[in-house]
Structure 1
Amino acid sequence: MRTVPSKTAVVRALVAGAVAVTGVVAGASPASAAYPPTIVPCHLDQTVGELTQWGANGKNNVIVYVGSAKKSAHFEGVVKRGHKKKYGCNEIGEPFNNKRTFYWVVFHGKGTFVRKGDGGYRNWAFFGVYDRVNDKKVKFHARG
């Protein structure tokens, strides 16, 4: 014999679950979004994946790029930004003794980024609501 809960009990459980989930969302960033993020020079898309978890459960725009790849950039509604020096993709040891600077920006407003040089996940990666204007330019739209 199985017991069927009353409609009132089901509604209370759903409301309690919604309150619990809301508390998690409104709380601190999840552990996977540690600060500063992990920079994976050959796969900046992995860093973007980590940063999509910052505070809004994937509802922010995110871009990660190596400093030498930036021609121009403008971002509105910045939630978090930073940079970190690391060896580039496959550049540990001689003759590559210089670390590169990798930048990240998490934002909810509009923005643009124009890349110089080659593309690929070793130079830039991004997430959000955007249009690829051309191979080197991304136009981000505000996330509401």
Structure 2
Amino acid sequence: GGVVVVLGGTGRNFAAGMSGGVAYVLDEEGDFVRRCNMTDLELQPVPGEDDMLEKLHHHGGDRMHKGMVDVSGDITRDQERLYQLISNHLHYTGSVRAKEILDHWADYRPKFRKVMPREYRRALEDMERMKLAGGESAP
């Protein structure tokens, strides 16, 4: 159920045996799919939101500055989560790479790919449906 962001290159057979969690991989060359083990996985772009920074400001944007990252099952907040994780990486490490990505977010965001096992996605969607229906869901 964890979350990882890859800002560098990956080897071949990335995500082989991945049964849960989410990986966001920067695919600058557009060839990541050739190195990813696609068995039982979904590979998606990270959806864009024109008002992402405004949304962060009005809906708990202080989380970004306090180093907190939402890793809940809310699968509609990929861009916010990704931005938070990269911001935290910059804050804690001073990464030049992270700064470059954040400074040019509009150019880099479309180059990220979201990797998630199909069954894990279904489980998150089921939990979200139960929550919306007023039922309890297991952690």
The normalised TM-score by structure 2 is 0.23
Bigger relative contact order, structure 1 or 2, given CA contacts below 8 A and separation 6+?
2
The normalised TM-score by structure 1 is 0.23
Higher alpha-carbon Rg: 1
If each structure's helix is expressed as a fraction of its own residues, which one has the higher value? 2
